[in-house]
Amino acid sequence: MRAKKLTAVLMTVVCAFGLGACAAKYEPEDAVAYVQSALDASYKADFEKYVELTDSTQEEAEEMYQQNIDNVMTGIGVEELGISDELTEKYRSLAPDLLALAEYEVTGAEEDGEGFAVTVSYEPFTGFNDLEGRLMSAVEEMASSMKEMPSDDEINELVYQSMYDIIQQCIVEPTYGDAQDFTIHISKDDNVYRISEEDLINLDYAMFPGE
């Protein structure tokens, strides 16, 4: 199992918060606020500023965030492998904490043609480094104490319980690399400013690098 499977699901998260911001005149500080609000809504479930700046309601923003939780669950794959309902719900409860691991700050913006180039300072999360190795070690340790060959469902339960324990520890004691800068572009279309979904995806990969 590759660690990328765990982190790649986050690439779909911020795309859900790509609603445009309407404005007759846009300044660099507006672009900064827009991108910051979209990231905060996506990762931190902080919707207030995002709702203020976009054509959306609190209920719509909350619904999109819940879809993000579903995206995490789908990406990890726990709902399709026959693990117990109890462990599935433990993963769902963990999903918001996974999203909240993102460390970022929008630090500035410059006009770029019809839009803006917005600078995001981020710290890449390193807690998933060697996740595959740690998981294999945990599974091998459990297997060495077994007297009977478990069923496929039992194996899935054991593997995903081990992975849950490892991820939970990563959340309790998160580690990050050195701060880096990333540029997100905002383009204008009929007085509506929109964040590049491709840039959001690439930022997510940068914040949560896989193996």
- Compute the distance between CA of residue 44 and CA of residue 98 in angstroms, rounded to an integer: 10
Could you tell me which residue, 155 or 54, shows the higher pLDDT?
54
- Compute the distance between CA of residue 203 and CA of residue 60 in angstroms, rounded to an integer: 24
Give me the pLDDT at residue 7, please. Answer: 44
Does residue 64 surpass a pLDDT of 90?
no
Q: What is the mean pLDDT of residues 152-159?
A: 79
Proportion of the chain above pLDDT 90, given as a percent: 39
The pTM (predicted TM-score) of the whole model is 0.83
User: Do β-strands 21-22 and 192-195 pair in parallel, antiparallel, or remain unpaired?
Assistant: antiparallel
Residues whose CB is less than 8 angstroms from the CB of residue 48 and which lie 6 or more positions away in sequence, other chains included: none
Q: How many helices (H) and strands (E) does the chain have?
A: 8, 5
Q: What is the mean pLDDT of residues 89-104?
A: 93
H or E element at residue 137: helix 131-144
Q: Quick one: CA torsion of 114, 57, 203, 133, rounded to 10 degrees?
A: -170
User: Do β-strands 103-112 and 21-22 pair in parallel, antiparallel, or remain unpaired?
Assistant: unpaired
Q: Which amino acid is at 170?
A: C
DSSP 2-58: -HHHHHHGGGGTGGGG---EE-SS--HHHHHHHHHHHHHHHHH---HHHHHHTT--H
Give me the pLDDT at residue 204, please. Answer: 87
Give me the pLDDT at residue 107, please. Answer: 98
CB–CB of 63/137 below 8 Å?
Answer: no
97-138 pLDDT, tens digit each: 989 999 999 999 999 987 999 999 999 999 888 877 888 887
Does residue 166 surpass a pLDDT of 70?
yes
Q: What is the mean pLDDT of residues 142-161?
A: 77
3-53 pLDDT, tens digit each: 344 444 444 455 455 555 555 578 999 999 999 999 999 899 999 999 998
Average pLDDT, the chain: 83
Would you place residue 2 in the very low, low, confident or very high pLDDT band (cuts 50, 70, 90)? very low
- CB-based contacts of 79-86 (< 8 A; 24+ apart in sequence): 81/156, 81/160, 82/152, 82/153, 82/156, 83/153, 83/156, 83/157, 83/160, 84/157
Residue 24: how many CB atoms within 10 A of its CB?
Answer: 5
